[in-house]
């Protein structure tokens, strides 16, 4: 009985010291760490004096209640072990679904710049929402271009697309209203990642959408800027998405924009060539490049 008392004192001391010194470990690996630590401290406060009294008692004067104390302590120790096991964080976390908000100035911008990435995100189970800021009336027939934007998004399997009515080529004059529209989308959709035009883009609408997104997404953790055909030579990607398996989907989505067919940057050869070039920069087969405005690791995850 003496030795049993010593064993229990030692076990609870180990738990107590462990709870105090391994506080960080407990915080990281156990859900509700405070509950577990409080349980250990409480159990120790009761069990250590009880065990000591058994350990220090003369064997001849050993009393029957010690059996119950030892029994209760055994249950305590097993109970704490079970609780710790039940509340542990699983080692492999299930993949987190991320919400990706992609914003483009004109109906074909998203397909051209980041169509492969959007198809990839959709296939990986992430939720993708697209906003097209205009019907593109200046560069084509606006009555068909809105529908083509929807067809393109469907091809990429983007979950939802919203086509707005800002004035093609004059978006910079509608900055306040654009910021409000994007702000509302950010508020409702709560994106983990926002994709938008780059500041290194010579199209005035692209530039305006970039600025509007940065203002509307001022509280968002992760903003990446994609590469449009009108990007300038200053566009310098530092984040890449491997799109090799998604280039067929990208080419098909771009082809849905029949109204724009014939423009030099719409061809499959150009799209694939650009992907190979960005891929070589990322040491992979084919990629789309992005400029990081800022990126939070938990927002990006394995995107
Ligand atoms: Zn555009």
Domain boundaries, the chain: 2-86, 99-300
Give the HSE-up count for residue 124: Cα atoms under 13 Å, Cβ half-sphere.
23
Degrees to nearest 5, angle at CA 157 with 160 and 106: 60
Which of 25-29, 31-35, 226-230, 262-266 tops mean pLDDT? 226-230
Q: How many angstroms is it from 107 CA to the middle of ligand 1?
A: 7
The reported pLDDT for the residue numbered 60 is: 61
Q: How many angstroms is it from 146 CA to the middle of ligand 1?
A: 13
Q: How many angstroms is it from 201 CA to the middle of ligand 1?
A: 10
> In the predicted model, is pLDDT for residue 202 greater than 70?
yes
Q: How many angstroms is it from 218 CA to the middle of ligand 1?
A: 23
Percent of the chain past pLDDT 90, that is, above it, reads 61
**pLDDT (tens digit, 9 = 90+) per residue, 226-266?**
999 999 999 999 999 999 999 999 999 999 999 888 899 99
Q: What is the mean pLDDT of the chain?
A: 90
Q: How many angstroms is it from 295 CA to the middle of ligand 1?
A: 24
**pLDDT (tens digit, 9 = 90+) per residue, 111-157?**
999 999 999 999 999 999 999 999 988 877 777 898 899 999 999 99
CATH architecture of 99-300: 3-Layer(aba) Sandwich (3.40)
Q: How many angstroms is it from 104 CA to the middle of ligand 1?
A: 7
């Amino acid at each position: 009985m003496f030795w049993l008392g010593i064993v229990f004192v030692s076990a609870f001391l180990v738990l107590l010291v462990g709870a105090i010194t391994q506080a960080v470990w407990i915080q990281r690996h156990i859900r509700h760490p405070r509950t577990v630590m409080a349980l250990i401290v409480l159990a120790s406060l009761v069990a250590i004096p009880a065990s000591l009294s058994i350990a220090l008692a003369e064997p001849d004067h050993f009393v029957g209640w010690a059996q119950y104390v030892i029994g209760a302590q055994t249950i305590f120790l097993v109970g704490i072990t079970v609780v710790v096991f039940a509340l542990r964080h699983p080692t492999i976390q299930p993949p987190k679904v991320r919400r990706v908000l992609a914003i483009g100035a004109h109906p074909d911008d998203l397909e051209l710049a980041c169509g492969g990435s959007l198809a990839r995100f959709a296939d990986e189970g992430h939720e993708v929402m697209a906003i097209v800021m205009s019907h593109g009336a200046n560069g084509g027939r606006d009555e068909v271009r809105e529908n083509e934007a929807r067809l393109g998004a469907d091809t990429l399997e983007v979950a939802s697309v919203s086509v707005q009515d800002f004035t093609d080529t004059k978006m910079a004059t509608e900055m306040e209203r654009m910021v409000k529209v994007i702000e509302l989308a950010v508020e409702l959709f709560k994106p983990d990642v926002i994709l938008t035009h780059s500041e290194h883009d010579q199209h005035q609408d692209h530039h305006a959408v970039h600025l509007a997104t940065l203002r509307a997404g001022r509280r968002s953790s992760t903003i990446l800027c994609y590469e449009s055909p009108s990007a300038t030579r200053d566009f310098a990607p530092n984040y890449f998405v491997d799109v090799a398996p998604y280039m067929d989907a990208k080419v098909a989505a771009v082809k849905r924009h029949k109204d724009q067919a014939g423009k030099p940057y719409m061809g499959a050869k150009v799209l694939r060539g650009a992907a190979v070039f960005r891929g070589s920069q990322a040491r992979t087969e084919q990629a789309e490049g992005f400029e990081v405005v800022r990126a939070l690791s938990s927002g990006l995850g394995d995107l």
